[in-house]
């Protein structure tokens, strides 16, 4: 019988961190492409010491029979899928992987911003569909320089986006729970939520999903935005009310939306959003570069092993239990 701690992994990860962790623990992993059934993970956890989550729903129901569990380590920054309060009650550390995701997420967000402003996806399809029969025939798009970029959630990713916007000569404003201490170096100005939604030409959602931000962007908010405004969401889908966004785009309350996250996710193939010409949607690829995912997966493995071997993990969202 192995003396190594038992760790349950909800989906296979890249070979390097997978093999690194497998050498050190008794690893039980769901290796199919699909999401594992809850009853399977729940049964595996009954005698497990650790859970390595690839953004799997970690509920009280899932964990209540896992009497030996010592740590939940998630390969992600956000942890809205985890019942952190229950874990804290059980004195189970919940670890995540911030910082290593910042630049990749900011790059993707900036890419969505440029694609939306310049209508790049529709322009590519215009050529592919054989509609380019003369120059200067495609509808005009919009500049970034001189325009106002509004950022809802000026954390690490928001700050990285602001640095990129500075290179595009944009005017950056933002709204947070409190001002960012580095906003002067970012040439960004703190504003109220009202000013953010009413004056932004491009409004980027980058806040965590919390009870306060869930459903924050609804039809009433869209009605107060500029008719020419473009919304970009690279945070969490439920911060934006999907039905309200569809109605706002259809009613031309706002001009365009570029989304890396949606609600629900994955988006159903028959969602009416997919039929609108003024929406582009990517499949939640903010951190989906080889380098970033490798760093995330390795960090999640190291956080998990640190707890199991009695060390303080590098990142823990409920550090009071340590």
Q: For residue range 178-208, list pLDDT tens digits in order.
A: 999 999 999 999 999 999 999 999 999 999 9
> What is the pLDDT, as a whole number, of residue 125?
95
Check residue 2 and give its pLDDT.
Answer: 56
Per-chain mean pLDDT for the chain? 96
As a whole number, mean pLDDT of residues 273-282 equals 96
Q: Mind listing the pLDDT tens digit for each residue in 308-321? A: 999 999 999 999 99
> Is the pLDDT confidence value at 1 over 70?
no
Provide mean pLDDT across the span 146-169. Answer: 97
**Rounded mean pLDDT of 149-153?**
98
pLDDT the model gives residue 3? 86
State how far the Cα of 295 lies from the Cα of 59, in Å rounded to an integer.
Answer: 26
Q: Which domains does the chain have, with CATH numbers?
A: 6-99+290-321 (3.40.50.720), 101-281 (3.40.50.720)
Mean pLDDT of 207-233: 97
Residues annotated catalytic, as ranges? 236, 265, 284
3-class SS of residue 296: helix
Q: Which bin fits 169, alpha (ψ -120 to 50), beta or left (φ > 0)?
A: left
Mean per-residue pLDDT for 149-174? 97
Distance between CA 245 and CA 6 in Å, rounded? 45
| This prediction's pTM | 0.91
* List of residues 6+ apart from 149 with CB closer than 8 A: 113, 161, 162, 165, 170, 171, 172, 173, 200, 201, 202, 204
The pLDDT-based confidence of 105 (bands split at 50, 70, 90) is very high
Q: Are the CB atoms for 172 and 189 separated by under 8 Å?
A: yes
123, 145, 280: which is closest to 201 by C-alpha?
Answer: 145
Q: What single-letter DSSP state applies at residue 35?
A: P
Question: What are the tens digits of pLDDT across the range 38-67?
Answer: 999 999 999 999 999 999 999 999 999 999
Does 265 score more than 70 pLDDT? yes
Task: Assess whether pLDDT exceeds 70 at residue 157.
Answer: yes
- Per-residue pLDDT at 115: 97
What percentage of the chain has pLDDT greater than the value 70? 99
Count CA within 13 A, CB hemisphere, residue 181.
0
State the pLDDT at residue 293: 97
- Per-residue pLDDT of 284-311, as tens digits, reads 999 999 999 999 999 999 999 999 999 9
Cα separation of 101 and 63, whole Å?
A: 27
């Amino acid at each position: 019988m192995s003396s190594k701690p038992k760790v349950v992994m909800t989906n296979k990860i890249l070979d390097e961190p997978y093999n690194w962790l497998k050498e050190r623990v008794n690893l039980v992993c769901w290796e199919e492409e699909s999401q594992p059934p809850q009853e399977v993970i729940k049964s595996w956890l009954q005698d497990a010491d650790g859970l390595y989550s690839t953004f799997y729903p970690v509920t009280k129901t899932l964990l209540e029979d896992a009497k030996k569990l010592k740590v939940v380590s998630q390969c992600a920054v956000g942890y809205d899928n985890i019942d952190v309060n229950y874990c804290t009650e059980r004195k189970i550390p919940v670890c995540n992987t911030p910082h290593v995701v910042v630049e990749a997420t900011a790059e993707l967000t900036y890419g969505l911003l440029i694609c939306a402003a310049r209508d790049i996806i529709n322009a590519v399809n215009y050529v592919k569909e054989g509609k380019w029969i003369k120059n200067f025939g495609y509808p005009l798009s919009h500049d970034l320089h001189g325009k106002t970029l509004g950022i809802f959630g000026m954390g690490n990713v928001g700050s990285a986006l602001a640095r990129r916007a500075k290179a595009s000569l944009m005017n950056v404003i933002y709204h947070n729970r409190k001002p960012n201490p580095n906003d002067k170096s970012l040439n960004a100005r703190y504003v109220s939520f009202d000013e953010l939604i009413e004056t932004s030409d491009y409004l980027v959602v980058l806040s965590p999903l919390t009870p306060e931000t869930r459903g924050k962007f609804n039809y009433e908010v869209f009605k107060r935005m500029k008719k020419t405004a473009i919304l970009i969401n690279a945070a969490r889908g439920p911060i934006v009310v999907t039905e309200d966004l569809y109605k706002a785009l259809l009613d031309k309350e706002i001009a365009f939306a570029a989304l890396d996250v949606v609600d629900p996710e994955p988006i159903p193939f028959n969602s009416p959003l997919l039929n609108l010409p003024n929406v582009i949607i990517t499949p939640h690829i903010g951190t989906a570069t080889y380098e970033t995912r490798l760093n995330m997966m390795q960090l999640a493995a190291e956080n998990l092993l640190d707890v199991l071997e009695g060390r303080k993990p590098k990142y823990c969202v409920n550090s009071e239990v340590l």
